[in-house]
Structures are given as C-alpha cells and as structure tokens.
Amino acid sequence: MPPTESARALRILVASSIPSPIEEPFLSTLIAQKNIAVRSIVDSAEWKTSTPYASIPNVSTDRSQPCRPFSDHDDVHRTAAELCAWADLLVLAPMDANTLAKMLHGVTDSLILEILRSWDVSKRTLLVLGMSTLMWENPMTKKQISKIRRKWNWVRVLHPLLWTFESKGKRYLPWEGREELMGAIQNQLDLMTLGQDVDVSMGQTPKHSLSLRPAAKPSSPLPPEIWSMILDFTGDWELAKRLNVYTTLPTPQCWLRAASKEGPHSFMDKLEWAILTGTLDDVKHLFNTHTAPQWLSSQAVRIIMRFAMVPLLYYLESNHADLFWASFGHAFLPDKASAVFGRVEILEYWRTSPTFLNKEYTVDAIDGASRAGFVHILEWWRNSGLPMKYSEAALEQASSRGQIEVLEWWKRASMRDDGHVRTSGDESEPEGSVPPTRKPLRLKPGKAISFATQAGSLSTLRWWVTSTIPFSHEDTVAKLASTHGHVDILDFWQLLHGEKMIYDNQVLVGATKMGHRDVLEWWKKSGLRVEYKTCDIEEALEDGVEGVKGQQVRRWWALNGLNLGVGTSEWMRTKVLNQS
C-alpha cells in the first residue's frame, strides 16, 4: 500500500532538443538536490555517445524512422504519456528554434514534441531557448516569445543560451540563466511542499477572514491581557502577531531575523514582515518603492494563504500580474486552499477571478480536503457549480485519518432518492430535473478499508461495516491488522466474521517480522486454524525488528513449537500453530 502522509519529491522532466554545454552541469546539480527526482530526454545523437545519467533519446515518432531503444513507435507514444503523468515540472533546456516553431504549431514528430502536445497545462513548464545570436535577434523569435507570454501562461521563458560562429566553429556566449533556472525550480519545490508542516487545527476561521488589518485598530471587548493569555494558550505565535497581540511565545526560527531589533534586511524579508504584521498600505508602499521580485517566497505565500488575505491577492492580480501568476497561478490556489488551509474565502476569490477563466484544479483539492477533515470545503465544491474532480484517495485518506464526519458527508452526497448510494460502477442518473450540483456523487471506496486497518482506526472500520456502502479488499484486514499490531481490530473482525474470517499464513509472518508478540498470542488463542512454514518464520525473524520486540517474538516462537534445526523437508512443511 502506498504511504498516506510522506512528502514525495518534486518530479522534474528535463528535455534537451539539442546538445549543449549546460545540460550535464545542470543535471548534476539537480540530481544532487534533496526532494527532487529527475528523468531526462536528450538529443538522439548525444544519447548514442552515452551520458552519465539515465536518459532516453529524443527519437522520431515517424514510423518510417528507427526508434531504438524503444521496441516500436507505440512504445514511444506510451512513454510520452507516462512521462507526462509522472512529471510535476517540465524543463526544456535548451530548445532549438526548429523545435520551438514546431511546438507552437502543434507538430508531434519527436518524443519531446509528443510530450509538449500531451502536457497537462495545469503543470508548469520552464523554457530555455538555445540558438544563434542572429536567430535570437530575428523578429520571428520575438513574435514567438511574445505569443508564448500572452497565450501560453503555463510556460515561463527564461534567459536563453546563445552562440555565435567563428572561423573555428560555434562559440557559446556565457549563459547567465543558471541562477534564474535553479531559482525557478526551487520556487516550484517550495510551492509543492507548502503546507506539509501546517497544523490544520491552527488558524482556521472558516467564516471570517483574518485579512490584512485596516489602518484603524478595532476595539476589543476583552482586555489585552486576556487576549495574550488566550493566544499564549494556543501556542500560535504567528496568529498573535497577525492580531497585534502581545505574546510571550518564543519566536519561530523562520521569523527570528525579521522580529529582531535590527528588523528585516532584504526586500523579501521586509515584505514577509509587512504581510504578517502590517496593513495593505504597508505592502503597497514596499512594492511602490522597490522593484518587484519574480515570485514571492514560500513564507509570504503561506501567510497570505493561511490568513486568507483576499484584498492582497486582488492587489497583486491587478498590479503585478507576472508575480501573481508565478506565485499563485494554475491549480495552486484551489488545491492549497482546499487541501492545506481550508479557506473558503480564497476558493470564492478564485472562482470569481477573471485571471482563472479555465478554473484549473486537480484531484488533490478534494482528495486533500477529505484527508484534512474539511467538510466545509467539500460542501463549497459541491455547491460551486464546478465539476467535482476526485479519486479513490478521497475516501482512502479520510479513512486512514479517521475522518468520520467526512465519510458521512460523502455518504450523504452520494445518496440517491431510492436510499441507495451511488458507487463508482453506478452509471445511472437520477430521474427528473435535478440541478447538476445536487446529483448524487459517485463513491470511490478504493482501498479505504485497508487504509483504515493499517492506521488502526477501529472507529472507521466500524463505520464502513455499518454504512451499507459496498467495499472491497476485506481480505487485507487480518493481514494488515497483524502486521501493524492492531489487536482490537482483530477482535472486531473475528466477532464480525467468526470462522469465515479471511486470512492466510502471512498473518503470522507479518506479526513476527514487525515484533508484535501480542498479535501472535491473539492468533494462538483465537481458536482459528492458522498455518505456517518454518522457513517463512525463520526468514521473518532474520529480516524483522531487533531489540526488545525482536527478542520477545523469538522467545514466543521458542515456547510455541518453532524448531529451526530441522531438515529441509520439515523446514518447508506446512504446520498449524500449536499443533505438532
């Protein structure tokens, strides 16, 4: 089963349509970074000479041309689709003028162009052009770049790689875009991981936004001392600073420099501090007196999202469009507002904003809201008039987290007039005139029962059993409960199914490997026939946990008939627990 909580790496697809001196150093730098996974496509001629990285060649999709190392041209098309699905970010570095022209006209005669034509435009693309100075200065290039900037807002054009021609051949000019490219990638990594350390129980005010404060401080019916006590109790330093309430809480590491006596130094530090503690006028003043950056820091974005600073979003959208799009464009706002911050105000802003006419968002929005327990966010999506995009992860993650209220919401939202829920295989539509927003949603239970078992959420397991919703993967419950040491779930499952409880010899193997002596004892006393092989148990003991838990299961097996000093036939013979 996939993990439910661990943060994954930013997956970057690097594609080069021509050989260049920047490719290998760039890939070396990327591969050395933490939290980044890289796959690359290189020029076919360069691939034949081999590279120190696992790359694939930019083969032709023309069926009359060879396509090695792919088995056939269908394999090329399949690989393009797989890479598009895998990657979070596409980096074209460099792309030559010929490929640029083909891209703008939708041509798909190579693997790179096939990927560009198939690319999900809710995911960003970074473009480094590579061409001669003569081509770069040609009006056609300026026209093409202008079109990309006006029409292709998912593509960010960075500093080009240029060259001239001399008597000795091609001479590359110094490339000044490395820092810009790495900064853009770091920005994407920061935005993707934004919210992974956010406590969703803190700072959530679904009905009222803690936006940028007005110039005049509102009167409070409570004395300042009481407010200080309340906010000290919450442990939320940022909320105290946002509300301008004195606190004795220690300053978080990320705010030490800005909160010091010297105050913030760089423009971004000053901007972050103004966003947290100042007014909208303070933020405007900073922008009016400084050159706007290419993008906001992840800390600035986090504060804007956390406190639903809609007036500031309006200001950035109207006055700093490029900065706004780089920081909040594509699916970022709806996904993070739904899955991480639980802010209806930002969702409503996004829904009505002219910048987001296509209303791009991913399944992460609704799946994440389910995981976080944001019923009010799910209800907003249901009433928004927008299509509901979600996957099996919505119910799987809610089950893993024990979000019973979320599960109840999904059950109500899927209920048909006849009292039955609409599941993923149910294609029937309700009769009569029903508004699209109120049509029963299709439930996608997926492996919800397995996720609940693995997490040890007995209350969730009980909910599924009594919900009348069809679900599968019941055969995994005994094994997962044994492997993860959940005796209470084993008790419940046996009470529910009795002798018809589904299990195999892996229940003892998993418990042994993970050091759960209490689970082994449960199976011994269960009255159920449990088989095992000495070879499997020996392997589990060798590969299993060490320390006290490892010693406990070894001692348990020694007391319950395990003999490792036997012949091969006996070693592989199927035995029954507590029977000779």
Query: Would you say residue 563 has pLDDT above 60?
Result: yes
Q: Cβ–Cβ contacts within 10 Å for residue 324, how many? A: 21
Tokens (6 digits) for 421: 């829920």
What is the mean pLDDT of the segment spanning 321-329?
Answer: 93
Among residues of the chain, what percentage have pLDDT more than 90? 67
Q: What is the pLDDT of residue 206?
A: 42
Q: What is the pLDDT of residue 74?
A: 84
Q: Which CATH architecture has domain 362-472?
A: Alpha Horseshoe (1.25)
CA distances from 409 to 234, 302, 421, 453 (A): 29, 28, 12, 21
Determine which of 206-220, 252-266, 303-317, 318-332 has the lowest per-residue pLDDT on average: 206-220
**Angle between the N-to-C axes of helices 458-466 and 404-413, in degrees from 0 to 180, rounded to the nearest 10:** 20
Q: What is the pLDDT of residue 427?
A: 54
Q: What is the pLDDT of residues 9-23, one digit of tens each?
A: 899 999 999 989 998
Query: Would you say residue 89 has pLDDT above 90?
Result: yes
Q: What is the pLDDT of residue 216?
A: 45
Question: Rg for the chain (alpha carbons), in Å?
Answer: 29
User: CATH number for the 10-193 domain, one of 3.40.50.1950, 3.40.50.300, 3.30.700.30, 3.10.129.10?
Assistant: 3.40.50.1950
Tokens (6 digits) for 207: 């009905």
Q: What is the pLDDT of residue 59?
A: 79
Q: What is the pLDDT of residues 482-541, one digit of tens each?
A: 999 999 999 999 999 999 999 998 999 999 999 999 999 999 999 999 999 989 999 999
Q: What is the pLDDT of residue 11?
A: 94
CA distances from 188 to 52, 65, 144, 258, 458 (A): 26, 37, 25, 24, 38
Residue spans of the domains in the chain: they are 10-193, 202-356, 362-472, 498-576
Q: What is the pLDDT of residues 448-472, one digit of tens each?
A: 999 999 999 999 999 999 999 999 9
**496: Cβ contacts below 8 Å, ≥ 6 apart:** 465
Q: What is the pLDDT of residues 333-386, one digit of tens each?
A: 999 999 999 999 999 999 999 999 889 899 999 999 999 999 999 999 999 999
Query: Would you say residue 235 has pLDDT above 70?
Result: yes
Query: Would you say residue 203 has pLDDT above 50?
Result: no
